[in-house]
A and B are shown apart, each in its own frame.
Chain A
């Protein structure tokens, strides 16, 4: 059983298109983090969302934490080839020890 489910699993789009990646759970999280991983490297943190309903922007990336703190989304505007990679959400369920749980991942490919 996967605590954090991401969708879609794979996404192939052309440069300039918009896309949204979802991270869903039936559990409540004190916070959620989003990471991006490129081939042959470890994941790198993009953002942490803490408050229910919070929206954070990182250039063309917009992150939202659900009001109930059970889900999050990542929206990319005008995707570029440099956005290609594996996007992972991760969080610590409330009431558990400090062990970060990762989602299943969304592999994004942006072509010219």
Chain B
């Protein structure tokens, strides 16, 4: 099993450009999440999904969009990149929701710089 796979590992964007961060998992997990990690700030939840076709906002959703057309894939879209979106982005999944103490499985992250 590959677990949670994120691509690309690194990306540099100019202000106003758009891109999609890819995330796929092969564990048949229903729940998937996108977090961003800024230095000294822990992880902030951007969006999450409880199953195919269902998504919901987290703490910091502005400037991002997601879709969940299949159980495996949960892409994160940035439409108009801004310097404030410079961060490391982590995708994660678990078999049940966090309220059931189900551990999160993380990808290795995408480091995004917007200049």
Partners in one complex: yes
Interface residues of A (CB under 8 A from B): 2, 4, 6, 9, 30-31, 33, 35, 40-45, 48, 50, 88, 90, 92, 97-105
Identity of the chain A residue whose Cβ is nearest the Cβ of B4 in the assembled complex: A42
Q: Please, how many angstroms separate the alpha-carbon atoms of A97 and B99 in the complex?
A: 7
| CB atoms of A102 and B4 under 8 A apart | no
Does B53 make an interface contact (CB < 8 A)?
no
| CB atoms of B98 and A48 under 8 A apart | no
Q: Select one of A41, A50, A99, A104 contacting B41, CB under 8 A.
A: A104
Q: Please, how many angstroms separate the alpha-carbon atoms of A40 and B104 in the complex?
A: 17
Interface residues of B (CB under 8 A from A): 4, 31, 33, 35, 40-45, 48, 50, 58-59, 90, 92, 97-101, 103-104, 106-109
Q: Select one of A30, A43, A50, A100 contacting B45, CB under 8 A.
A: A100
Residues of B within 8 A of A42 (CB): 4, 90, 92, 106-109
Q: Please, how many angstroms separate the alpha-carbon atoms of A42 and B50 in the complex?
A: 21
In order of increasing CB-CB distance, the 9 nearest A-B pairs are A42-B106, A98-B97, A100-B98, A45-B103, A98-B99, A102-B43, A102-B42, A98-B98, A104-B42
| CB atoms of B108 and A31 under 8 A apart | no
| CB atoms of B106 and A98 under 8 A apart | no
Identity of the chain A residue whose Cβ is nearest the Cβ of B92 in the assembled complex: A42
Residues of B within 8 A of A48 (CB): 101, 103
Q: Please, how many angstroms separate the alpha-carbon atoms of A35 and B106 in the complex?
A: 11
Q: Please, how many angstroms separate the alpha-carbon atoms of A61 and B47 in the complex?
A: 32
22 contacts between A and B (CB under 8 A): A6-B42, A33-B101, A35-B104, A41-B106, A42-B4, A42-B92, A42-B108, A45-B104, A48-B103, A90-B43, A90-B104, A92-B98, A97-B99, A98-B31, A98-B50, A98-B97, A100-B104, A102-B43, A102-B44, A103-B42, A104-B40, A104-B41
The smallest C-beta distance from B68 to any residue of chain A, in angstroms, reads: 15
The smallest C-beta distance from A1 to any residue of chain B, in angstroms, reads: 11
Identity of the chain A residue whose Cβ is nearest the Cβ of B48 in the assembled complex: A99
| Given A33-B103, A88-B42, A40-B108 contact (CB < 8 Å) | yes
